[in-house]
């Protein structure tokens, strides 16, 4: 292995980090990403499919106008410092595979709102042997603006737009918000009524039109749960809309890893391993053993 300065923890040995980790910039500005692997159950076509997932949390600058990652010399005032989540899902249906990635870009410091991690953009790409789909939603000027490119004739190339309500939330974005990486998002025991954009993946598998749903979001009290055979203190976050419900357990200790989830459709996930790595540079054959350390196939 060429990289010697790798920090990694398995679910069974995740220990509380130093209090200094509560400083967002000190912890997340170290030039590395957090990679967390999960054992997944994904319902599809009426059956439960076994698979794996990886959540990648990393900070990066995006262009203030294009919301695209900055890779060239750009003045500071033209950049937005973001926390990005790449949420990767892999599973098999019969003979063929699904490969899905959702990305969420949030401004670390608020721009037009009062809380950190203001949502800027999210997208989804889904590939399987029938074809592939890409969708992007931008959140600017009080509007949601979506663009969809799909191999399905009924969808094709479409655009959609709607007003952004004051009580708005995005289901995909909640996976950033509920980690409370710069202080509490909600109080213990609090419940809120929100107007929610369901996960783009939920729209994808249902082939349904883009609509906002009236949702309830609740934050529980600390409880003990078992993750990969180990006892952990966690906070349960639950949201419901229509017939859909999901509970996500987040670690009580910083950096509040996403430990486990389950939903009313039968989907679930459980943390295997979490590591901090400069993954974009780990592209050589000698780096492949890191996949085994994360518990995912080569």
Model confidence pLDDT, tens digit, residues 218-277: 999 999 999 988 999 999 999 999 999 999 999 999 999 999 999 999 999 999 999 999
Mean pLDDT, rounded, for 98-113: 92
Specify the pLDDT at position 152. Answer: 87
Q: Is the pLDDT of residue 172 over 90?
A: yes
What region does 101 belong to: left with phi over 0, alpha with psi -120 to 50, or beta?
Answer: beta
Q: Is the pLDDT of residue 15 over 60?
A: no
Specify the pLDDT at position 22. Answer: 54
Distance CA 19, CA 285 (A): 37
Share of residues in the chain with pLDDT > 70 (%): 93
Give the contacts of 115 (CB within 8 A, at least 6 positions apart).
Answer: 185
C-alpha dist (Å) from residue 127 to 24, 35, 54, 134, 136:
34, 22, 16, 9, 15
Specify the pLDDT at position 244. Answer: 96
Radius of gyration of the chain (CA): 19
Q: Is the pLDDT of residue 53 over 90?
A: yes
Phi, psi of 101 (to 5 degrees): -140, 130
Distance CA 207, CA 122 (A): 18
Confidence of residue 6 (pLDDT cuts 50, 70, 90): very low
Q: How many other CB atoms are found less than 10 A from the CB of residue 200?
A: 26
Give start and end residues of each alpha helix (H) in 61-218. 171-177, 200-206
* Secondary structure of residue 251 in the 3-state scheme: strand
Specify the pLDDT at position 262. Answer: 98
Q: Is the pLDDT of residue 9 over 80?
A: no
Mean pLDDT, rounded, for 34-52: 97
Specify the pLDDT at position 154. Answer: 83
Indicate the domain borders of the chain: 8-294
Specify the pLDDT at position 23. Answer: 86
Q: Is the pLDDT of residue 14 over 60?
A: no
Confidence of residue 110 (pLDDT cuts 50, 70, 90): confident
Q: CB–CB of 296/52 below 8 Å?
A: yes
* Secondary structure of residue 286 in the 3-state scheme: helix
Confidence of residue 283 (pLDDT cuts 50, 70, 90): very high
């Amino acid at each position: 292995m060429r990289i010697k300065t790798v920090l990694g923890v398995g679910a069974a040995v995740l220990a509380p980090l130093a209090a200094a980790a509560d400083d967002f910039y000190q912890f997340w500005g170290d030039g590395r990403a957090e990679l967390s692997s999960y054992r997944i159950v994904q319902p599809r076509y009426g059956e439960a499919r076994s698979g794996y997932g990886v959540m990648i949390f990393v900070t990066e600058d995006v262009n203030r106008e294009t919301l695209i990652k900055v890779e060239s010399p750009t003045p500071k005032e033209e950049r937005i410092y973001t926390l990005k989540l790449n949420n990767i899902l892999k599973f098999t249906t019969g003979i063929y595979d699904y490969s899905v990635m959702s990305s969420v870009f949030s401004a670390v410091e608020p721009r037009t709102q009062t809380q950190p991690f203001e949502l800027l953009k999210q997208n989804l790409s889904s590939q399987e042997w029938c074809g592939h789909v890409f969708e992007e939603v931008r959140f600017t000027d009080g509007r949601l603006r979506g663009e969809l490119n799909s191999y399905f004739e009924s969808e094709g190339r479409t655009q959609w737009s709607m007003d952004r309500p004051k009580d708005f939330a995005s289901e995909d974005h909640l996976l950033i918000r509920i980690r409370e990486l710069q202080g509490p998002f909600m109080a213990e025991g609090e419940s809120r009524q929100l107007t929610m954009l369901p996960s783009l993946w939920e729209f994808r598998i249902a082939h349904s039109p883009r609509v906002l749903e009236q949702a309830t979001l609740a934050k529980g009290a600390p409880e003990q749960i078992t993750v990969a055979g180990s006892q952990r203190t966690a906070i349960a976050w639950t949201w419901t809309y229509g017939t859909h419900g999901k509970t996500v357990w987040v670690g009580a200790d910083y950096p509040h890893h996403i430990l486990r989830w389950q939903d009313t459709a039968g989907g679930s996930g459980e943390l295997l391993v979490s590591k901090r790595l400069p993954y974009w540079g780990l592209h050589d054959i000698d780096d492949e053993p890191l996949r085994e350390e994360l518990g995912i196939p080569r």
